[in-house]
Structure 1
Amino acid sequence: MEKNLKLNAIWNTLGITVNSFNSLFFLIIINRVNGVEIAGIFSFAFSIACLLFIVGIYAGRTYQVSDINENLNNYEYLVHKCITCTMMFLIAIVFIVVQKYSLEKNVIIILLCLYKLFEAMSETFYGFLQKNDELYIVGKSLFFKSLVGIIIFFVIDFLTKDIIVSCVALNINSFLFVFLYDIKKSKKYLNKFQKIRWNKIFGLFKKGFSVFAFSFLAVYIVNVPKYVIDILLDNRFQTIFSIIVMPGTVMSLCGQYIMAPLLTNVVECYNQKKYKEFKNIIFKILGILVVLGIIVELGAATVGIPILGIVYAIDLNAYVLDLIIIIFGAILYAIAGVFSTALITMRRNGMQLIIYLIDAIFSVIISYLFISTFGIHGATIGYTSTMVLHVILYTIYFLYEYSKLVKSED
């Protein structure tokens, strides 16, 4: 048990980290090999694929793993995932038909959606493994699938200079990992005698809708500037924005890493009604984030742009202020993420969905307004303006719910 716990923690962290940063490596490769225009197309297509990935996973692995009463059996979860992945792919087809992009852009969007579809399918098999204390196998799959995918993508793109061929190779890699590793490792948890109950499968759409909507909007608000850039600006600016927003993405992930080891303490304090300690841990995490954020901001202001310029082989000297603004927005998003985790612990989920809905509407309006006026600089202002609203709403809501919690104990 102790050995599995360590293996689970190590491999899961490695797997999630490499998988989270694979888009960073793809963008570096494409920008250097294929040029800034193609990199812009890829970046936009990847953001669409990530959004539709939420449709593919729908309620997510967390819902599956937390189903300790086994309201659905493993076959039913697998059938449900086949349905959601089909929906994901059909939405991608409808999207490119409606948008009427170039053939090259359409093909890249479809190939990247297919790549994320394989990832979504894997999530069900990962659920089987995680539920049986084999999270380390999940971590290994994510780690090696992502690492091999990056290497294959680089080699094929370097040799062919063809982004479509490279994306096809990436999909073949994912397909092979799903069928030769993920399914092979998890098929022992599939009982062929299990009955498929369609009412249970379709019932999951209703039960998991709030989780799906919450996750969908969370991905959407982060990517709204990219969607507006696609409408108003050319692909070159899509690449530039994707590069300067990348350190912000890393900052947001840091928030998750800081929160993860303290999450058990947060839950325990809440369950034991140690509300003052609960609040202290939350604000301790926020303090760490703020200090880390200041350090990152100083780094961004001094060496951030030169480093990004070297890594991505592009002149970014005109975007120093944009990088600083983006990272500030990412710090705010990470802070809001801590409040969100605290509110989830407090079982306060309904209002969070409303907060994200408000953010999404605000983000579309403000991003369109600023990007149409200030171009790429407007994208950074729009992004950070959304995060300012986001953190204000979350701070107010957390303090309100916490005050109610304390009063109920008096």
Structure 2
Amino acid sequence: MRRSVGGNFAWTLSAGLVYALAQWGVLVACARLGTMELLGEFALGLAITAPVMLLARMNLRTLQATDAQSAYGFEHYLGLMVLNVLGGVLLCCAIGWVAGYSARASLVIALLALAKGFEALSEVFYGALQKVERMGLIARSIIAKSALSIVLVVLALLITRSAAAAAAALGLAWAVVLFLFDTHAYRRVFGGKRPWGLLWRTPWRAQGVRLKSLLGLAYALGITALLSSLRPNVPRYMLEAHFGQAELGMFAALAYFTALGGRVVHALGQAVSPRLGRYHTAGDQRRYGRALAGFTGGAALVGIGAIAGAVLLGRWALTLFYGADYAQNLELFVWLMVAAALEYVCVSLQFGLTAARELKAQALMLTASVVVVALGSAWWVPSVGTVGAAWALALGWLVELGASAWLSVRAWRRLGLQEVGTAPHGSGAQATPGADAAP
């Protein structure tokens, strides 16, 4: 049974906001129960592990949810994700060792990578549920994961005052929800099928070709996810190198406010993406265009609200949640919201491009954006500091916005050419010569 977009959006938004608040609560707990250096150590671990583990995830959930023809089974998505998670955790550990971080920092990196691995496996279950529009079950899982994580992390910090203990508590919370709640939800919706049994019983030698085919389709999304994560983290690497972990911790604390608006946009995207996939597969240009335009307009309104909130309430909010030392950086806070407003519009267009299977083009676009952010960070961070990092982010998002808007219009026009080319004889429509090659 199909659920309404409004109902799915409400569930997804509620869960997304709870998740964002919980993750923000982890940073607040690090700032209040620890030191700015402890917060910087935790933020460095996130900055190292996020790009690698997002590459491992390959955005398979979106690919899975928009697989309208069921070209691949649940076992293929889960099998590929297990392999990717193992490789991602090992790579994160290797980065911590090769980069020469302290043993304590390397342990934080390894534990956060493991935690993100459990979260990546949950995404496969979410993709299966999202495809049949059971967003309520996904929301309950995310809410449970959020509540348990903040409770365990706060307890770990109260007892140990250790970033490594906080990372371990985060991983424990996500593992409990994965193996208890997500597994049960899948069996409930899909007729009692045992998801882990599907994984072990699948004859992988015979299914190797299909697994490689899925990898070939998803690798572009993996690169896109890697680049998407590198973009906000490149300035953080520069800040840590030039100013140390305390300045990085302050920047990370302020930047996390942008995740609240991002959750609103992602919630709407998760609710709309199955329908975008169906409209595109059916060649329905009008519905695809209307859904994407409405989504993009909503994302723009969220961004405008974020900027206005930062200008009017920024100093009060920073003092309330972090303390007076953080509130001295109001200019940085406003610039971070400007960058976030551009990000929200770009994210909405990314959902449409993924539904249209414009995957390789997204990777090229993001590569250009990351290069711009890296060059801007190298130029502005040493001389301007944290505000320069926000400028670099805003410039990178602006470059992506121009490219993604052009790609979205191109994908929409191609649907119109398909409608003309497949119109029935006698309808008065004629196929356009060379339509397949039209931009």
- Which deviates further from its counterpart, 175-184 or 328-337? 175-184
Residue of structure 1 equivalent to 2:427: none
- Which deviates further from its counterpart, 78-87 or 293-302? 293-302
1:242 to 2:269 alignment: no
Residue of structure 2 equivalent to 1:373: 383
Residue of structure 1 equivalent to 2:261: 251
Determine which of 332, 336, 339 is the counterpart of 2:342: 332
Q: By how many angstroms is 1:179 displaced?
A: 2.8
Q: By how many angstroms is 1:371 displaced?
A: 0.7
Residue of structure 2 equivalent to 1:18: 18
Say whether the 8 Å CA contact 1:61–1:123 is kept in structure 2. yes
Q: By how many angstroms is 1:236 displaced?
A: 1.3
**For the residues of structure 2 that align with 1:234 and 1:265, how far apart are their CA atoms?**
46
1:383 to 2:393 alignment: yes
Q: Report the number of matched residues.
A: 409
Q: For the structure 1 residues 76 and 261, does the alpha-carbon distance in structure 2 shift closer, same or farther, using more than 3 Å as the test?
A: closer
Q: By how many angstroms is 1:286 displaced?
A: 4.5
The percentage of counterpart residues that share the same residue type is 18
Q: By how many angstroms is 1:4 displaced?
A: 10
Structure 2: gaps spanning 5 or more residues: 421-431, 433-439
Q: By how many angstroms is 1:9 displaced?
A: 5.8
Say whether the 8 Å CA contact 1:12–1:140 is kept in structure 2. no
Residue of structure 1 equivalent to 2:193: 189
Q: By how many angstroms is 1:148 displaced?
A: 1.0
Residue of structure 2 equivalent to 1:163: 163
Q: For the structure 1 residues 345 and 298, does the alpha-carbon distance in structure 2 shift closer, same or farther, using more than 3 Å as the test?
A: same
Say whether the 8 Å CA contact 1:74–1:189 is kept in structure 2. no
Q: CA offsets, 1:266-320, max 9 Å, x none?
A: 6787656554x76566555544444443343232112212211220124234422
**For the residues of structure 2 that align with 1:404 and 1:138, how far apart are their CA atoms?**
33
Q: For the structure 1 residues 193 and 68, does the alpha-carbon distance in structure 2 shift closer, same or farther, using more than 3 Å as the test?
A: farther
- Which deviates further from its counterpart, 304-313 or 291-300? 291-300
- Which deviates further from its counterpart, 5-14 or 111-120? 5-14
**For the residues of structure 1 that align with 2:341 and 2:239, how far apart are their CA atoms?**
23
Q: What secondary structure sits across from 2:325 in the alignment?
A: coil
Determine which of 300, 305, 308 is the counterpart of 2:315: 305
Q: For the structure 1 residues 194 and 67, does the alpha-carbon distance in structure 2 shift closer, same or farther, using more than 3 Å as the test?
A: farther
**For the residues of structure 1 that align with 2:102 and 2:236, how far apart are their CA atoms?**
18
1:80 to 2:87 alignment: no
1:177 to 2:177 alignment: yes
Q: For the structure 1 residues 189 and 129, does the alpha-carbon distance in structure 2 shift closer, same or farther, using more than 3 Å as the test?
A: farther
Q: What secondary structure sits across from 1:189 in the alignment?
A: coil
Q: By how many angstroms is 1:238 displaced?
A: 0.8
Residue of structure 1 equivalent to 2:99: 99
Q: CA offsets, 1:105-125, max 9 Å, x none?
A: 111111111111111122234
1:143 to 2:143 alignment: yes
Say whether the 8 Å CA contact 2:283–2:415 is kept in structure 1. no
Say whether the 8 Å CA contact 1:252–1:331 is kept in structure 2. no
**For the residues of structure 1 that align with 2:66 and 2:309, how far apart are their CA atoms?**
41
**For the residues of structure 2 that align with 1:41 and 1:121, how far apart are their CA atoms?**
25
- Which deviates further from its counterpart, 189-198 or 163-172? 189-198
Query: Which amino acid is 2:95 matched to?
Result: F
Q: For the structure 1 residues 317 and 149, does the alpha-carbon distance in structure 2 shift closer, same or farther, using more than 3 Å as the test?
A: closer
Q: By how many angstroms is 1:186 displaced?
A: 3.8
Q: For the structure 1 residues 263 and 58, does the alpha-carbon distance in structure 2 shift closer, same or farther, using more than 3 Å as the test?
A: closer
Alignment of 1:228-377 (within 5 A): 228-258=238-268, 273=284, 275=286, 282-377=292-387
**For the residues of structure 2 that align with 1:175 and 1:264, how far apart are their CA atoms?**
27
Residue of structure 2 equivalent to 1:123: 123
Say whether the 8 Å CA contact 1:73–1:194 is kept in structure 2. no
Query: Which amino acid is 1:379 matched to?
Result: A
CA-atom RMSD in angstroms: 3.3
Query: Which amino acid is 2:92 matched to?
Result: A
Q: For the structure 1 residues 157 and 295, does the alpha-carbon distance in structure 2 shift closer, same or farther, using more than 3 Å as the test?
A: same
Q: For the structure 1 residues 66 and 261, does the alpha-carbon distance in structure 2 shift closer, same or farther, using more than 3 Å as the test?
A: closer
Query: Which amino acid is 2:245 matched to?
Result: N
**For the residues of structure 2 that align with 1:365 and 1:201, how far apart are their CA atoms?**
37
1:33 to 2:37 alignment: no
**For the residues of structure 2 that align with 1:295 and 1:69, how far apart are their CA atoms?**
38
Q: For the structure 1 residues 221 and 98, does the alpha-carbon distance in structure 2 shift closer, same or farther, using more than 3 Å as the test?
A: same
Residue of structure 2 equivalent to 1:217: 227
Q: By how many angstroms is 1:261 displaced?
A: 5.8
Say whether the 8 Å CA contact 2:372–2:392 is kept in structure 1. no
Q: For the structure 1 residues 86 and 17, does the alpha-carbon distance in structure 2 shift closer, same or farther, using more than 3 Å as the test?
A: same
Q: For the structure 1 residues 2 and 76, does the alpha-carbon distance in structure 2 shift closer, same or farther, using more than 3 Å as the test?
A: closer
Q: By how many angstroms is 1:338 displaced?
A: 2.8
Say whether the 8 Å CA contact 1:31–1:313 is kept in structure 2. no
Say whether the 8 Å CA contact 2:58–2:218 is kept in structure 1. yes
- Which deviates further from its counterpart, 383-392 or 87-96? 383-392
**For the residues of structure 2 that align with 1:287 and 1:129, how far apart are their CA atoms?**
27
- Which deviates further from its counterpart, 86-95 or 296-305? 296-305
Residue of structure 2 equivalent to 1:52: 52
**For the residues of structure 2 that align with 1:394 and 1:235, how far apart are their CA atoms?**
34
**For the residues of structure 1 that align with 2:136 and 2:356, how far apart are their CA atoms?**
29
- Which deviates further from its counterpart, 315-324 or 35-44? 315-324
Q: For the structure 1 residues 243 and 181, does the alpha-carbon distance in structure 2 shift closer, same or farther, using more than 3 Å as the test?
A: same
Q: By how many angstroms is 1:251 displaced?
A: 2.8
Say whether the 8 Å CA contact 2:114–2:171 is kept in structure 1. yes
Q: What secondary structure sits across from 2:358 in the alignment?
A: coil
Q: CA offsets, 1:128-181, max 9 Å, x none?
A: 555566553333222112211101211221233233223323323333333333
TM-score, structure 1 normalization: 0.86
Residue of structure 1 equivalent to 2:429: none
